[in-house]
Structure 1
Amino acid sequence: MSESINIALRFALYLDLMLLFGLAAFGLYSLRGKERMSGALLSFAPLLLTTTVLGVLLSVLAMVCMARAMSGIADWAELWPHIEMMVFETDVGWSWNLRIAALVLAGFAVMLNKRWPSASLALVLLGGAVALATLAWAGHGAMDEGERRNWHFITDFLHLWAAGGWVGALAAFALLLHQAEPRLPVLARTLTGFETAGAVMVLVVGVTGVVNYLFIVGPNIEGLLDSTYGQLLALKLVLFAVMLVFAALNRFHLSPLLEQARQTGEHSVAVNALRRSMVLELCVAVVILGLVAWLGTLSPVME
């Protein structure tokens, strides 16, 4: 039961912090000037504040569950010294403190959105990037030592940031398309602008994913499917390929279709098709995050 709770908390943290980072990033590289103000196109303030508060709550719950699992103690009075020890005397605790500080910074920055929308999103992006990177200390990279540990962490950071940017962009497009009357000029412009950013994110996710596999398992695939870890990893790769298919469909068919529909004035079919595609791609991404949360609790050693 405790393992299931741990996986659920890991999944929730991955999704929450990726949305925090990715939505702020989308606002900076896709939107312009006053479009970055909460309510102009996207409700940045409630969305980012919610993810920030959830990030703090989920982090506290995750720390308590980790302390309980490691100590085997359920009584709160006896558990508290173990929590203090983990928070102040371990690398995991150091990363946890850094995450909480980054989330406090992001929460403060959200309050500045109405007055300085660009600066606000930039600070949220910074806080979200740091908070998201701290999740690497709960992964396989934390088991490495020396230079290998450092390079593994750097790879994890890049992987998390690229994935977070992708997930945040999908969520932003889904929200834009969900509006009763999507602003077609802005939507068409952001879709076109995302082509380069999206390609970079996909490339970084793919390359760092391969490098992470080499760090964790090594240059070996023999017997991979004989383990739970290998089976889940294979499923993750299949779903990643599905996301690439959706991305290609959006890029080469649905986005041009929307541009053509703008010129004819009959855009409902194109908008609905793009909306379904974005939502489905986001759902696949959420399932992948669930697999990632599960994979992080498993040993890569072949069974």
Structure 2
Amino acid sequence: MLEVAVIALRWLQYSGAVVLLGAPLFLLYSFRGGVAPNLAWARPTLIGAAIVVALGSLAALVAQTAVMAGSLSEALKPASLSFMVTGTALGLAMVARAVVAVLALVAVVALKSGRALWCVTATAGLVVAASFAWTGHAGATEGPGGPLHLVADIAHAVAAALWLGALGALTILLMRRTSPEDLAIHRALHGFAGLGTLAVVLLVLTGLVNSWFLVGPARVGDLGASLYGRLLIAKLILFGAMLAFAASNRFRLTPALGAALHTAAPSSAAMGDLRRSLLLETGLGLALLAVVAAMGTLQPPASL
């Protein structure tokens, strides 16, 4: 039961970090010098993400301590928590993650919505995302390849947040959409296409580097023999499905919306198709994060 709690709390932290990093980055590059739609949702969304990361990190600290100590009652003792924080990199990272999230929360409450706030929250999200790599499999890689694996894992997390966080922001935009905002939303969708492609390329390249270290070329054929390998296969299937939706959005649905706006035709049908597609793609992204959360608790094939 404690192991399940650890995985669930990792998923919550991943989800919060994705929003904290990806959503403000999306806002920074999507509406530069142009008319933006109503972004009243951005502040409460970032507040929610910061709270999820902060509380999720502290709860994960207790859950992970309980796993190591053998019981929840033992984990709640100050001596056990103190050892976890001061004696392990994982415990220290969880506390650092919570502190950064609280600082982001203060910034969201104190600053006006705009570029300064988006930069601050994106920076906080970057630190949170990097902390997962620091205490994950990449941080444990020894030898001359260790720094390369760590950098690749951080880049992988940032690229994932850029894609998934933007997906979340786009989904909220379309759910709250009003007709006068359609042109601005279309610009945002069109502008995301290039950076979305960059995120996918980074995910593929850094994913190959991570797999080289965690699986190894000699074990690729035996992926199905371990739980980690089966979860990796599930992750790749989910990633492929997300790519299919992303390609449909970019090459079919977004141009259809642009054509409707260009001819002054009603855009509600095109917006409805985009909304459904983005909702499904976002759901797949959340499922993918759950798979990644479970993978982070398992030994990869290369270490067996």
Greater shift in the superposed pair: 241-250 or 69-78: 69-78
TM-score relative to the length of structure 1: 0.93
Per-residue CA distance 1:214-242 (angstroms, 9 max, x = gap): 11111131221122211111111111111
- 8 Å CA contact 1:7–1:294 kept in 2: the answer is yes
Rate the CA distance shift 1:78–1:197 in 2: closer, same or farther, 3 A: closer
Match in the other structure for 1:298: 298
Match in the other structure for 1:216: 214
Q: CA shift at 1:41, angstroms?
A: 2.5
Unaligned runs of 5+ in 2: none
Structure 1 Cα separation of the partners of residues 276 and 75 of structure 2 = 50
Query: Which residues in structure 2 correspond to 1:54-93 (within 5 Å)?
Result: 54-75=52-73, 79-93=77-91
Q: Pick from 145, 150, 168: which aligns with 1:148?
A: 145
Match in the other structure for 1:121: 118
Query: Which residues in structure 2 correspond to 1:189-268 (within 5 Å)?
Result: 189-220=187-218, 221-262=220-261, 263-268=263-268
Q: Pick from 157, 160, 168: which aligns with 2:157?
A: 160
- 8 Å CA contact 1:13–1:59 kept in 2: the answer is yes
Match in the other structure for 1:8: 8
Match in the other structure for 1:271: 271
Per-residue CA distance 1:27-47 (angstroms, 9 max, x = gap): 1111236967xx933412111
Structure 1 Cα separation of the partners of residues 76 and 236 of structure 2 = 43
Match in the other structure for 1:179: 176
Amino acid across the alignment from 2:227: T
TM-score relative to the length of structure 2: 0.92
Amino acid across the alignment from 1:223: D
Per-residue CA distance 1:178-223 (angstroms, 9 max, x = gap): 1251511111111111111101100011111111011111113122
Query: Which residues in structure 2 correspond to 1:10-25 (within 5 Å)?
Result: 10-25=10-25
Rate the CA distance shift 1:77–1:205 in 2: closer, same or farther, 3 A: closer
Paired-residue identity, %: 36
Structure 2 Cα separation of the partners of residues 192 and 9 of structure 1 = 34
Which secondary structure does the structure 2 equivalent of 1:145 belong to? Answer: coil
Pairs aligned (count):
300
Greater shift in the superposed pair: 14-23 or 141-150: 141-150
Unaligned runs of 5+ in 1: none
Which secondary structure does the structure 2 equivalent of 1:75 belong to? Answer: helix
Structure 2 Cα separation of the partners of residues 239 and 155 of structure 1 = 21
